[in-house]
């Protein structure tokens, strides 16, 4: 007992559970130095595997449990969490649970109930559970993470950081659909928006980089990864975003269709006899870049296009055209902007997508400098021409770091 009280609570663990994966990161509470970073993938499938990187001082050591595909078949998120704790212990990154000052969880859907990160208690758990119908693939996995870690160490404070909460500032005219109002009142049908942790993080970083108060800035944040979304941020608050009641709406994504005519599913059902489940699967998993050119990984799409594949070239054009339309829409919504932010795997790494998305926008003050855009870097940077009215920034996102920081704020107010 005495020994326990002497252990310093110096670490923060962040859990980011997807429907079939568990991403985790361990941070030093003092300086948010990353101590370990790992992933358990293909949970519930035959070839699950887990790997983790950790650093000792300035040296990086690998502790990758590969090829472990045959050894592991991780049945569920509960087992994935056990594996995570085993790996953290075996690598001496976390020898005692008592070293943890807090655990932060990414929770995908907070509905209208959560406007900010919260300390988790029974009521919070019950609310996340009630919201499962709005995120049936994600909220259950997030809840398992919360429950298993709570069971293991009930005394460690846990924090939920919601993907939706940053968009709770969106006004009614942007979140109510043109549907009977009772659907909003009775079934909570409305725009919620996602990627909130990422948008919030990069917007704060933009203000620091531009050396301006966030309360003075109008920004468009473009999170372009496997999932893609745009957000209009006015003086630090989200006033509109492209994802809707679910992450299917908005920009074209790796496998998701984004905005389409809502009559298409009915037409498909009538003409092809597809079931609701088949159509849902089509729109979520077989559409977007993959549906257009057969590849959902943007690197592969770009490579194929460079070799002259017309389908891939078309996919890139559609992807960028949709981004450009949202830039125009949000410039109008914000009555002019100070900066556009590119983030996410594609936004941070693809000069081609950035160039094409901002092409021919000079009349709106957007002018990318090709030399700056083509220079490779993993640092925050401006890629606009010196005299351009609108700054264009590339900002690496870090959702786990953002969750760790929010967790510390709540456990050490």
* Residue 196 binds to ligand AMP (criterion: CB under 6 A): no
> Smallest gap, in angstroms, from Cβ of residue 254 to ligand AMP?
5
Indicate whether 344 belongs to the interface with ligand AMP (CB under 6 A).
yes
At closest approach, how far in Å is the CB of 297 from ligand AMP?
A: 4
Q: Of residues 22-51, which lie at the interface with ligand AMP (CB under 6 A)? A: none
Examine residue 303 and tell whether it contacts ligand AMP (CB under 6 A).
no
Q: Which stretch binds ligand AMP (CB under 6 A): 23-31, 100-108, 297-305, 320-328?
A: 297-305
- Contact assessment for residue 65 and residue 49, using Cβ atoms and an 8 Å cutoff: yes
Picking from 389, 390, 363, 52, the residue whose alpha carbon sits closest to that of residue 220 is 390
> Of 44, 140, 294, 345, which lies in the binding site for ligand AMP, with binding defined by CB under 6 A?
345
Q: Which of 33, 299, 303, 412 binds ligand AMP (CB under 6 A)?
A: 299
Indicate the residue among 293 and 408 with the shorter CB distance to ligand AMP: 293
Closest to 289 in 3D by CA, of 197, 201, 227:
227
Among 11-19, 25-33, 258-266, 343-351, which window interacts with ligand AMP (CB under 6 A)?
343-351
The CA-atom distances, in angstroms, between 402 and each of 62, 163, 165 are: 24, 12, 14
Give the strand pairing for 218-224 and 339-343.
parallel
**Is 254 among the residues that bind ligand AMP (CB under 6 A)?**
yes
Cα separations (Å) of 83 from 40, 50, 66, 73, 167? 8, 8, 14, 11, 34
Q: Applying CB under 6 A, what is the total number of residues that bind ligand AMP?
A: 12
* Contact window for ligand AMP (CB under 6 A) among 11-19, 312-320, 341-349, 405-413: 341-349
**Binding of ligand AMP at residue 302 (CB under 6 A)?**
yes
Q: Which residue is nearest to ligand AMP (CB)?
A: 345
Distance CA 20, CA 76 (A): 8
Segments in 294-374 forming alpha helices (H)? 298-306, 310-334, 344-349, 351-357, 370-374
Q: Which position has the token pair 């040296």?
A: 59
Tokens in use for 28?
């030093």
Cα 39 to chain centroid, rounded: 15
Place of tokens 């962040």: 14
Verify binding: residue 226, ligand AMP, rule CB under 6 A: yes
State the catalytic residues: 163
In the bound state with ligand AMP, the residue whose beta carbon lies nearer, of 156 and 222, is: 222
List contacts with ligand AMP (CB under 6 A). 225-226, 254, 297-299, 302, 344-346, 349-350
């Amino acid at each position: 007992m005495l020994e326990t009280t002497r252990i310093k609570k110096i670490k923060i663990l962040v859990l980011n559970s997807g429907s079939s994966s568990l991403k985790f990161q361990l941070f030093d509470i003092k300086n948010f130095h990353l101590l370990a970073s790992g992933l358990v993938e293909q949970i519930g499938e035959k070839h699950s595997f887990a790997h983790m990187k950790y650093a000792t001082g300035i040296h990086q050591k690998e502790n990758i449990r590969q090829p472990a595909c045959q050894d592991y078949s991780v049945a569920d998120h509960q087992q994935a969490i056990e594996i995570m704790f085993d790996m953290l212990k075996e690598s001496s990154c976390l020898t005692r649970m008592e070293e943890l000052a807090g655990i932060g969880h990414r929770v995908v859907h907070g509905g209208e109930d959560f406007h900010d990160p919260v300390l988790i208690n029974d009521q919070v758990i019950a609310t996340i559970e009630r919201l499962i119908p709005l995120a049936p693939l994600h909220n259950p996995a997030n809840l398992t993470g919360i429950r298993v870690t709570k069971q293991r160490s009930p005394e460690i404070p846990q924090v939920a950081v919601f993907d939706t909460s940053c968009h709770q500032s969106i006004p009614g005219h942007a979140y109510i659909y043109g549907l009977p109002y009772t659907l909003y009142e009775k079934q909570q049908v409305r725009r919620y928006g996602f990627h909130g942790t990422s948008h919030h993080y990069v917007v704060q970083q933009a203000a620091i980089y531009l050396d301006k108060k966030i309360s003075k800035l109008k920004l468009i944040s473009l999170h372009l990864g496997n999932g893609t979304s745009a957000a209009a941020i006015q003086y630090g608050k989200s006033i509109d975003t492209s994802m809707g009641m679910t992450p299917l709406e908005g920009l074209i994504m790796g496998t998701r269709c984004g905005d389409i005519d809502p009559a298409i599913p009915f037409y498909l059902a009538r003409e092809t006899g597809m079931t609701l489940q088949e159509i849902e699967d089509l729109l979520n998993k077989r559409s977007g870049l993959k549906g257009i050119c057969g590849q959902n990984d943007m690197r592969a799409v770009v490579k194929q296009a460079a070799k002259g594949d017309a389908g891939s070239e078309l996919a890139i054009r559609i992807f960028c055209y949709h981004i450009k339309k949202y830039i125009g829409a949000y410039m109008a919504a914000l009555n002019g902007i100070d900066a556009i932010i590119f983030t996410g795997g594609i936004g941070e790494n693809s000069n081609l997508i950035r160039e094409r998305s901002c092409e021919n926008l000079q009349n709106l003050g957007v002018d990318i400098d090709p030399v700056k855009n083509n220079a490779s870097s993993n640092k925050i940077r401006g890629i606009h021409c010196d005299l351009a009215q609108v700054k264009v920034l590339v900002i690496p996102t870090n959702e786990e770091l953002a969750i760790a920081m929010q967790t510390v704020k709540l456990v050490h107010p």
